[in-house]
């Protein structure tokens, strides 16, 4: 063996012994220390997890008792709501009979005594009639609300001439407009448009929208009503130069009993039910209703859209008069 080979073998031996020594020292001191640190951290984490679990289960208990309280108050609210709906329906139903008796007897008294025992008697009888008219309208609105709430508000769709209906409503409302010196204008619109919808309910919507425009417009105001048909949809619009609406009020006025106008006298002339009923009617026809206004003092434009005929409507299922119409024209 040469000297070089002996030196290489010796160096290899020394290197191997040093590696073994390093491994032994690392294992003995460093790894042991690391293991201890890891175990300590693990222990800490386990303690933290246990504390969090305890806190969480406490919160779950609180949440569960809150859910139970909410369920009970919800149950109570439903019960009170049912009582309220029942009460409203009873009031609306049972007050109509005595009311129409008062109306009937007042009319008889007015007819029996056209000159009256004096002007005061006639004025008093007139006031009684006006008051009972107002109460009748409120009763009708309350009946509608109670039917809506109980799901008994059904639409009876039949074909009718929308133009003729609008003309009737405008003739009726023109009397009130005249009293306030309001110019109620019928804009150009198609001569004959047949719509398949609930005529009575749609007239209710028209009366409320045009009636509102007259009620809320100032003396000498100007109101325009128009409608058109496009792609099987009818759009009706009524614009006034009245008090207008704040942006924040545009949705609220469609809620029951909501009246945004601050004028106390105008508030007294209604109950804030007309628009909520109108919305139900238009929705039940598959349409939409809304209002546009640039703000207070800027007037309002109320509109609604309804399909010209309900989806799934078949003319052959309609009353015979519809079938007869084209033949009659020819
Ligand atoms: N053309 C309008 N201009 C300004 N505000 C309006 C107009 N129409 C409706 N409003 C506002 O919306 C509110 C709700 O209207 P809605 O027709 O529901 O009730 P009402 O007319 O006050 O009473 P009711 O219709 O029950 O007799 C009104 O009180 C009024 O504040
Ligand atoms: Mg109204």
Output the pLDDT for position 330: 25
**Per-residue pLDDT for 319 more than 70?**
no
Identify the nearest ligand to the CA of 277 by its number. 1
Name the residue with tokens 């951290």: 41
What is 158-310's CATH topology?
A: Heat Shock Protein 90 (3.30.565)
CB 271 within 8 A of CB 138: yes
User: Could you state, in order of their start, the residue ranges of all structural domains in the chain?
Assistant: 1-153, 158-310
Output the pLDDT for position 176: 92
Output the pLDDT for position 119: 67
Ranges 36-40, 124-128, 159-163, 319-323: which has the least confidence: 319-323
How far apart CA 251 and CA 289 sit, in angstroms, is 10
Ranges 154-158, 172-176, 195-199, 317-321: which has the least confidence: 317-321
Sign of CA dihedral 4, 9, 10, 11: positive
Average pLDDT, integer, range 36-53: 94
Between 100 and 290, name the one with better pLDDT.
290
Average pLDDT, integer, range 303-317: 81
C-alpha pair distances (Å), 281 with each of 167, 197, 286, 301, 306: 20, 10, 9, 19, 10
**Per-residue pLDDT for 50 more than 90?**
yes
| pLDDT bucket at 197, cuts 50 / 70 / 90 | very high
Which segments within 149-284 are labelled E, that is strand? Answer: 158-161, 183-186, 194-197, 222-230, 233-240
Between 136 and 304, name the one with better pLDDT.
304
- CA of 292 relative to ligand 2 center, distance in Å: 16
Could you give the 3-state DSSP secondary structure of residue 225?
Answer: strand
**Per-residue pLDDT for 252 more than 50?**
yes
Decide: 159 in ligand 1 pocket, CB within 6 A. Answer: no
- CA of 31 relative to ligand 2 center, distance in Å: 86
Identify the nearest ligand to the CA of 274 by its number. 1
Decide: 322 in ligand 1 pocket, CB within 6 A. Answer: no
**Per-residue pLDDT for 283 more than 90?**
yes
**Per-residue pLDDT for 240 more than 80?**
yes
How far apart CA 236 and CA 222 sit, in angstroms, is 17
Pocket-testing residue among 261, 290, 295, ligand 1, by greatest number of atoms within 8 A of Cβ:
261
* CB-count exposure of residue 290 (10 Å: 0-12, 13-18, 19+): middle
Decide: 213 in ligand 1 pocket, CB within 6 A. Answer: yes
Identify the nearest ligand to the CA of 295 by its number. 1
Pocket-testing residue among 139, 272, 282, 303, ligand 1, by greatest number of atoms within 8 A of Cβ:
272
Identify the nearest ligand to the CA of 279 by its number. 1
Phi/psi at 312 (5° precision): 85, 5
CB 307 within 8 A of CB 287: yes
Output the pLDDT for position 230: 92
Decide: 107 in ligand 1 pocket, CB within 6 A. Answer: no
Of 288, 308, 290, 291, residue with least CA distance to 299:
291
Work out the mean pLDDT of the chain and round it to a whole number.
Answer: 87
Tell me, yes or no, if the pTM score tops 0.75: no
Residue nearest to atom 22 of ligand 1 (CA): 272
Output the pLDDT for position 118: 61
- CA of 261 relative to ligand 2 center, distance in Å: 11
**Per-residue pLDDT for 130 more than 90?**
no
- CA of 204 relative to ligand 2 center, distance in Å: 10
Residue nearest to atom 29 of ligand 1 (CA): 259
Helix ranges (DSSP H) in 180-273: 199-216, 264-268
Between 237 and 320, name the one with better pLDDT.
237
CB 199 within 8 A of CB 233: no
How far apart CA 121 and CA 129 sit, in angstroms, is 12
Residue nearest to atom 9 of ligand 1 (CA): 212
Of 190, 211, 325, 316, residue with least CA distance to 270:
211
Output the pLDDT for position 314: 66
CB 125 within 8 A of CB 109: yes
The number of residues making up the chain comes to 330
Output the pLDDT for position 141: 87
Decide: 308 in ligand 1 pocket, CB within 6 A. Answer: no
Three-state SS for 301-328 is: EEEEEEECCCCCCCHHHCCHHHHHHHHH
Dig out the tokens for 112 from the structure.
């029996």
**Per-residue pLDDT for 93 more than 60?**
yes
Output the pLDDT for position 326: 31
Residue nearest to atom 28 of ligand 1 (CA): 259
Between 321 and 230, name the one with better pLDDT.
230
Most confident of 148-152, 198-202, 318-322: 198-202
């Amino acid at each position: 063996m040469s000297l070089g080979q002996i030196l290489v073998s010796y160096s290899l031996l020394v290197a191997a012994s040093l590696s073994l020594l390093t491994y032994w020292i690392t294992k003995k001191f460093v790894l042991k220390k690391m293991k201890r640190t890891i175990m300590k951290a693990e222990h800490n984490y386990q303690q933290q997890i246990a504390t969090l679990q305890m806190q969480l289960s406490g919160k779950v208990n609180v949440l569960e008792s809150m859910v139970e309280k909410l369920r009970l108050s919800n149950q109570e609210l439903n019960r009170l709501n049912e009582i309220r709906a029942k009460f409203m329906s009873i009031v609306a139903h049972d007050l109509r009979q005595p009311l129409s008796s008062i109306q009937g007897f007042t009319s008889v008294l007015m007819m029996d005594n056209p000159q009256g025992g004096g002007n005061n008697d006639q004025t008093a009888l007139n006031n009684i009639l006006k008051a009972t008219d107002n109460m009748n309208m409120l009763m009708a609105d309350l009946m509608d609300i109670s039917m809506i709430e109980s799901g008994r508000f059904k639409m009876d769709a039949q074909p009718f001439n929308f133009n003729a209906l609008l003309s009737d409503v405008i003739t009726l409302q023109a009397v009130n407009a005249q009293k306030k010196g309001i110019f109620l204008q019928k804009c150009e619109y198609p001569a004959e448009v047949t719509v398949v919808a609930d005529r009575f309910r749609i007239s209710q919507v028209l009366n409320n929208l045009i009636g509102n425009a007259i009620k809320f417009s100032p003396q000498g105001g100007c109101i325009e009503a128009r409608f058109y048909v496009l792609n099987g949809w009818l759009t009706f619009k009524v614009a006034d130069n009245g008090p207008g609406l704040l942006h924040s009020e545009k949705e609220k006025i469609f809620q029951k009993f909501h009246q945004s106008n601050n004028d106390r006298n105008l508030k007294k002339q209604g109950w804030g039910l007309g628009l909520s009923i109108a919305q139900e009617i238009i929705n039940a026809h598959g349409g939409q209703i809304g209002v546009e206004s640039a703000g207070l003092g800027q007037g309002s434009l109320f509109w609604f859209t309804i399909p010209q005929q309900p989806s799934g409507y078949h003319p052959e299922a309609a009353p015979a008069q519809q079938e007869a119409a084209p033949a009659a024209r020819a």
